[in-house]
A and B are shown apart, each in its own frame.
Chain A
Amino acid sequence: DADVTQTPRNRITKTGKRIMLECSQTKGHDRMYWYRQDPGLGLRLIYYSFDVKDINKGEISDGYSVSRQAQAKFSLSLESAIPNQTALYFCATSDDGYEQYFGPGTRLTVT
């Protein structure tokens, strides 16, 4: 079984809809991250969490919110999706913040 899983793997939604992306990990790491990747722009950090009670905004948090339900679960929500949130979303975990283990990604399309 994969150490970091993301659901759904692909999602098409309409402008204005609320959508949640979920991430689970079995590595026992405290640190979890949400990134988005757009062609030619690399990975950009949306939110990160050092433990259940410690959540921090990343570089591009506007339009997103997160919930750390447990050490193993970190969810990303788009309250009202817009087309420029179409992207590939990655969850990652880390023990120390340096070497990060990425999930398989969720491809989100907002029409």
Chain B
Amino acid sequence: EDKVVQSPLSLVVHEGDTVTLNCSYEVTNFRSLLWYKQEKKAPTFLFMLTSSGIEKKSGRLSSILDKKELFSILNITATQTGDSAIYLCAVWHGGSQGNLIFGKGTKLSVKP
């Protein structure tokens, strides 16, 4: 059965801390892994990773994929209260007619 597992499920840090969120997966016909951020309502796209070892970076956020070990990490440096959100990992499965399967998410709370 295809699955995406995120850890930890929740995390509380203080402003300025660095955090690492994990996503492991087992899916057929892997094509890509995506990270989304969900603040109040709708998830918004952060990164898509297709190749191993190539870091994607956007400001204080970065992510990397390891296709051999079947996982990805999302790093956030110098966290701010605005980073508080649920971070969702999703993996494409099922070939060209497939779709995304989402993990349960990591709820990040950043305290002032």
User: B25 at interface (Cβ–Cβ under 8 A)?
Assistant: no
Complex Cα gap A37–B90 (Å): 14
- On B, residues with C-beta under 8 Å from A are 9, 31-32, 34, 41-45, 48, 88, 90, 92, 97-105
- Chain A CB within 10 A, most for which of B43, B92, B99: B99
> Judging by beta carbons under 8 Å apart, are B43 and A102 in contact?
yes
Q: Please, how many residues of chain A have a CB less than 8 angstroms from a CB on the other chain?
A: 23
- Stretch of A19-27, A42-50, A69-77 lying at the B interface: A42-50
Among B9, B34, B42, B105, point to the contact of A90 (Cβ < 8 A). Answer: B42
Known: A42-B88, A42-B104, A105-B42. Contact between A48 and B99, CB under 8 A? yes
Complex Cα gap A61–B109 (Å): 33
Q: Which are the 10 A-B pairs with shortest beta-carbon distances?
A: A102-B42, A42-B104, A43-B102, A42-B102, A105-B41, A99-B45, A42-B105, A102-B43, A104-B41, A104-B42
Q: Which residues from chain A contact B45 at a C-beta distance below 8 Å? A: 99-101
Residues 61-111 (chain A) with a chain B CB within 8 angstroms: 90, 97-105
Q: Which residues from chain B contact A41 at a C-beta distance below 8 Å? A: 104
Q: How far is the CB of A2 from chain B (nearest CB, A)?
A: 9
Can you sample 26 A-B contacts with CB below 8 Å?
A: A33-B99, A40-B9, A40-B104, A42-B88, A42-B102, A42-B103, A42-B104, A43-B43, A43-B88, A43-B102, A44-B102, A45-B100, A48-B99, A50-B97, A97-B92, A98-B31, A98-B32, A98-B100, A99-B34, A99-B45, A100-B45, A100-B100, A101-B45, A103-B42, A104-B41, A104-B42
> Judging by beta carbons under 8 Å apart, are B99 and A97 in contact?
yes
Q: Which residues from chain A contact B105 at a C-beta distance below 8 Å? A: 42
Q: How far is the CB of A92 from chain B (nearest CB, A)?
A: 8
Q: Which residues from chain A contact B97 at a C-beta distance below 8 Å? A: 50, 56
- Chain A CB within 10 A, most for which of B34, B42, B98: B42
Known: A90-B42, A97-B92. Contact between A45 and B99, CB under 8 A? yes
- Chain A CB within 10 A, most for which of B88, B92, B102: B102
